[in-house]
């Protein structure tokens, strides 16, 4: 009685060893590091790694370790090293072709890295870094979509040879027809272009209004958020920031957390930048419908440009800064749709001028009548006008930019255009000393709670209490191992979840041991009492843990960042404690007390 088969004992031991191996990277800590990523997105090789190491050593610094990770160069230094001079030197030499970021890196031995193991990710409140809360301009997202509808309706009616005038006012498109007899045909053409549009006839009998339905507006808002999240992730990735967090918060806000980053200035500029490009033909006659005057930046002439956009920033799939005849340029690659439009345009308008329009939206805060008012300013200026001298499709170059501007624009375009402008409404920088203080306090709480429980169990349940303590320590190891395997961020609320789990983890053993005591008091033999303790307490243990697990799942599903951090560690703690308290302790008890005659049980 009370004996596990050999294969089950081996399985339990294998799971414990696997947990120890996965948790191992967390004992080494983190040190200052520099991460270098190519602006072109291609991965680096050993040759480029050696080149960067030589530059750093030439400045009098010796990296503690240098290696490649996911195609990026990581240079690791001893604790306390001032990395600012090294970062400045690398940026001055390679700023046009590489993104250099100061961060923290785990101090892992090479053999641990070769196994693909990583420590658990630490949240911003533990590691330090930059927190930015962005607000998405939903009105602009809707207006942008309505502008496309306006242009589409104009094209449809022109192709049908229906005299008309289309205007956009607020969230309504008004279509004024030249002849009332065309009303039905025009309405039908517009409705056929998008069946979800809401169309209402005007009172004059020859006009109608077009509006987006609530479902379309909601879909457009969701698209703007999701597209912006994707774009912001790409931008952060281009900067070489390790372990970023970009997620939605509420209806129109996005949270960006950049652990380990201590210089937020450049990153903030990249995050909120809404710069993009549009390519338009010059209206040489100045009489085409929809054409308007665009101002040129200093040194570039003003021009009247046509309404139709040949290609825009959201159709750019790659952009790289470079030089041509000593002048900064940006090499552009369009997607298939933009490439086809550019090909058709260059074929039909060979020898005619085309302009590149630089568009940027920024928010200014002003004081008016004692109140703080946010004012959105949209800048549209021509940065380049050139004659189409040949037929091309999806690859070409633009000029007219400064060196730094070309680099930043290439980064933004390569990462993707924002579906709607974003504005920074909150920013916090947490220093590494505060983060370390949080870590120290959090782990002190875990240690105090752990040793208090260990002491109580050893005194109250004797040998069985010591076995429960082994399971409790194994439980902590498994939680750390799971966090490392899943790369789930550990936050301060997450530490609170672990502290709670430390107390809850022994609940199952308390139920088992108390059941064993009851069986012994009723005169049951020691072996039978041990077996009955584990068998009869199982249902109560399962019920209690399953209900708590359901609550944790709900917290994770509906909660925000801090609550999710608490829910993750609570869920993992429940799962691992079920294993260690029931299977783990039973395996140890069986090995020590099973299969032999007992006169008493030390419980």
Correct CATH for 275-417 of 3.60.20.10, 3.30.70.3040, 3.30.1360.200, 3.40.50.20: 3.30.1360.200
Q: Could you tell me if 451 and 256 are in contact, meaning their C-beta atoms sit under 8 angstroms apart?
A: no
Q: Does pLDDT of 590 surpass 80?
A: yes
CA distance 410 to 192: 39
pLDDT of residue 308: 87
Do 6-24+431-593 and 29-107 come out as alike in CATH topology?
Answer: no
Please write the tens of the pLDDT for every residue from 219-277.
888 888 888 888 788 777 666 565 677 888 878 889 888 876 655 665 666 777 666 78
Among 104-108, 550-554, 560-564, the range with the most confident prediction by mean pLDDT is 550-554
pLDDT of residue 188: 92
Q: How many C-alpha atoms does 10 have within 13 Å on its Cβ side?
A: 3
pLDDT of residue 372: 66
Correct CATH for 29-107 of 3.40.720.10, 3.40.50.920, 3.30.70.120, 3.40.50.880: 3.30.70.120
Give the closest residue to 268 by CA, choosing from 428, 507, 500: 428
Q: Does pLDDT of 561 surpass 90?
A: no
Give the closest residue to 436 by CA, choosing from 487, 480, 492: 492
Q: Could you tell me if 533 and 513 are in contact, meaning their C-beta atoms sit under 8 angstroms apart?
A: yes
Q: Which helix or strand (DSSP H or E) is residue 139 part of?
A: helix 138-159
Distance of CA 411 to the CA centre of its chain: 17
pLDDT of residue 220: 87
Backbone angles phi, psi at 227, to 5 degrees: -65, -40
Mean pLDDT of all residues belonging to the chain = 83
Q: Which distant-in-sequence residues (6+ apart) come within 8 Å of 407 by Cβ?
A: 39, 95, 96, 321
Q: What mean pLDDT do residues 7-35 have?
A: 89
pLDDT of residue 120: 85
What does the block give as tokens for 84? 């600012």
Distance of CA 456 to the CA centre of its chain: 43
Q: What percent of the chain has pLDDT over 90?
A: 15
Strands (E), 288-421: 292-296, 303-305, 311-312, 316-324, 327-334, 353-368, 371-387, 395-398
Top-level CATH class of 139-217? alpha beta
Within 10 A of 352 (CB to CB), how many other CB atoms are there?
A: 13
pLDDT of residue 208: 93
pLDDT of residue 352: 92
Q: In the block, which residue shows the tokens 């979840």?
A: 497
For the entire predicted model, the pTM comes to 0.63
Least confident of 265-274, 286-295, 497-506, 531-540: 265-274
Q: Which distant-in-sequence residues (6+ apart) come within 8 Å of 51 by Cβ?
A: none
pLDDT-derived band of residue 40, with 50, 70 and 90 as boundaries? low
Q: What mean pLDDT do residues 550-576 have?
A: 83
The Cα-based distances of 58 to 85, 86, 272, 563 in angstroms read 12, 10, 36, 47
Q: Give the angle subtended at the CA of 206 by the CAs of 204 and 207, to the nearest 5°.
A: 85
Residue 389 buriedness (CB in 10 A; 0-12 / 13-18 / 19+) = exposed
Please write the tens of the pLDDT for every residue from 329-380.
888 888 888 889 999 999 999 999 999 898 877 666 666 777 767 676 778 8
pLDDT-derived band of residue 19, with 50, 70 and 90 as boundaries? very high
pLDDT of residue 427: 81
Q: What is the DSSP string of 27-38?
A: GS-EEEEEEEEE
- Angle, helices 585-593 vs 526-558, to 10°: value is 170
Q: Does pLDDT of 598 surpass 80?
A: no
Q: How many C-alpha atoms does 311 have within 13 Å on its Cβ side?
A: 26
Within 10 A of 150 (CB to CB), how many other CB atoms are there?
A: 20
pLDDT of residue 244: 74
Q: Could you tell me if 244 and 260 are in contact, meaning their C-beta atoms sit under 8 angstroms apart?
A: no
Q: Which distant-in-sequence residues (6+ apart) come within 8 Å of 201 by Cβ?
A: 183, 187, 207, 208
Q: What mean pLDDT do residues 506-523 have?
A: 86
pLDDT higher for 327 or 314? 327
Helices (H) and strands (E) in the chain, counts: 17, 21
Q: What mean pLDDT do residues 58-62 have?
A: 87
Please write the tens of the pLDDT for every residue from 430-450.
765 555 676 777 778 878 888
CATH architecture of 6-24+431-593: Up-down Bundle (1.20)
Q: Where are the domains of the chain?
A: 6-24+431-593, 29-107, 139-217, 275-417
pLDDT-derived band of residue 76, with 50, 70 and 90 as boundaries? very high
pLDDT of residue 191: 92
pLDDT of residue 227: 81
Q: Does pLDDT of 14 surpass 90?
A: yes
Q: Could you tell me if 442 and 492 are in contact, meaning their C-beta atoms sit under 8 angstroms apart?
A: yes
CA distance 503 to 548: 14
Q: Does pLDDT of 600 surpass 80?
A: no
Q: Does pLDDT of 211 surpass 90?
A: yes
């Amino acid at each position: 009685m009370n004996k596990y088969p050999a294969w089950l004992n081996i399985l339990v031991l294998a799971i414990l060893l696997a947990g120890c191996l996965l948790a191992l990277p967390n004992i080494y800590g983190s040190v200052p590091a520099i991460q270098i990523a190519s602006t072109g997105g291609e991965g680096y090789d050993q040759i480029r790694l050696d080149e960067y190491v030589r530059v750093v050593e030439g400045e009098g610094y010796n990296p503690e370790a240098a290696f490649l990770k996911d195609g990026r160069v990581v240079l690791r230094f001893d604790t306390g090293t001032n990395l600012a001079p090294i970062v400045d030197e690398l940026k001055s030499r390679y700023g046009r072709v590489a993104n250099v970021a100061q961060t923290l890196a785990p101090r892992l031995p090479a053999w641990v890295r070769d196994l693909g193991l990583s420590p658990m990710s630490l949240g911003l409140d533990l590691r330090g870094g930059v927190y930015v809360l962005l607000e998405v301009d939903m009105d602009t997202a809707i207006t942008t979509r309505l502008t496309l509808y306006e242009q589409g309706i104009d094209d449809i009616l022109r192709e049908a040879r229906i005299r008309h005038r289309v205007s956009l006012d607020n969230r309504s498109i008004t279509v004024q027809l030249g002849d009332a007899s065309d009303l039905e045909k025009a309405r039908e053409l517009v409705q056929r272009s998008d069946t979800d549009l809401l169309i209402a006839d005007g009172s004059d009998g020859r006009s109608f209004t077009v509006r987006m339905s609530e479902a379309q507006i909601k879909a457009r808002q969701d698209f703007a958020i999701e597209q912006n999240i994707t774009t912001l992730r790409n931008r952060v990735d281009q900067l070489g920031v390790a372990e970023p967090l970009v997620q939605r918060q509420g209806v129109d806000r996005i949270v960006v957390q950049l652990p380990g980053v201590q210089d937020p200035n450049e990153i903030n500029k990249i995050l909120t930048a809404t710069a993009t490009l549009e390519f338009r033909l010059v209206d040489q006659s100045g009489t085409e419908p929809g054409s308007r005057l665009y101002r040129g930046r200093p040194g570039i002439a003003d021009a009247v440009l046509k309404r139709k956009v040949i290609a825009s920033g959201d159709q750019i799939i790659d952009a790289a800064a470079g030089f041509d005849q000593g002048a900064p340029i940006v090499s552009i690659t369009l997607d298939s749709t933009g490439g086809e439009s550019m090909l058709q345009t260059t074929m039909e308008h060979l020898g005619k001028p085309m302009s590149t329009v630089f568009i940027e939206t920024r928010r200014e805060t002003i004081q008016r009548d004692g109140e703080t008012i946010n004012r959105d300013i949209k800048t549209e200026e021509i940065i380049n006008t050139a004659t189409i001298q040949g037929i091309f499709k999806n690859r070409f170059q633009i000029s007219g930019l400064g060196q730094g501007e070309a680099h930043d624009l290439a980064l933004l375009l390569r990462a993707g255009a924002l579906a709607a402008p974003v504005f920074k409404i909150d920013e916090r920088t947490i220093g590494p000393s505060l983060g370390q203080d949080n870590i120290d306090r959090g782990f002190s709480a875990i240690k105090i709670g752990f040793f208090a429980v260990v002491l109580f169990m050893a005194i109250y349940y004797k040998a069985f209490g010591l076995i429960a303590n082994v399971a409790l320590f194994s439980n902590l190891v498994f939680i750390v191992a799971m966090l490392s395997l899943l790369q789930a961020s550990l936050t301060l609320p997450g530490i609170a979840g672990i502290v709670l789990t430390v107390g809850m983890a022994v609940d199952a053993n308390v139920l088992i041991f108390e059941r064993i005591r009851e069986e012994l008091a009723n005169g049951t033999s020691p072996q039978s009492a041990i077996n009955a303790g584990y068998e009869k307490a199982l249902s109560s243990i399962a019920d209690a843990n399953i209900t708590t697990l359901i609550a944790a799942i709900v917290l994770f599903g509906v909660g925000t960042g801090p609550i999710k951090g608490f829910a993750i560690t609570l869920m993992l703690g429940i799962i691992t404690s079920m294993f260690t308290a029931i299977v783990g302790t039973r395996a140890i008890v069986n090995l020590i007390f099973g299969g032999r005659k007992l006169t008493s049980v030390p419980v």
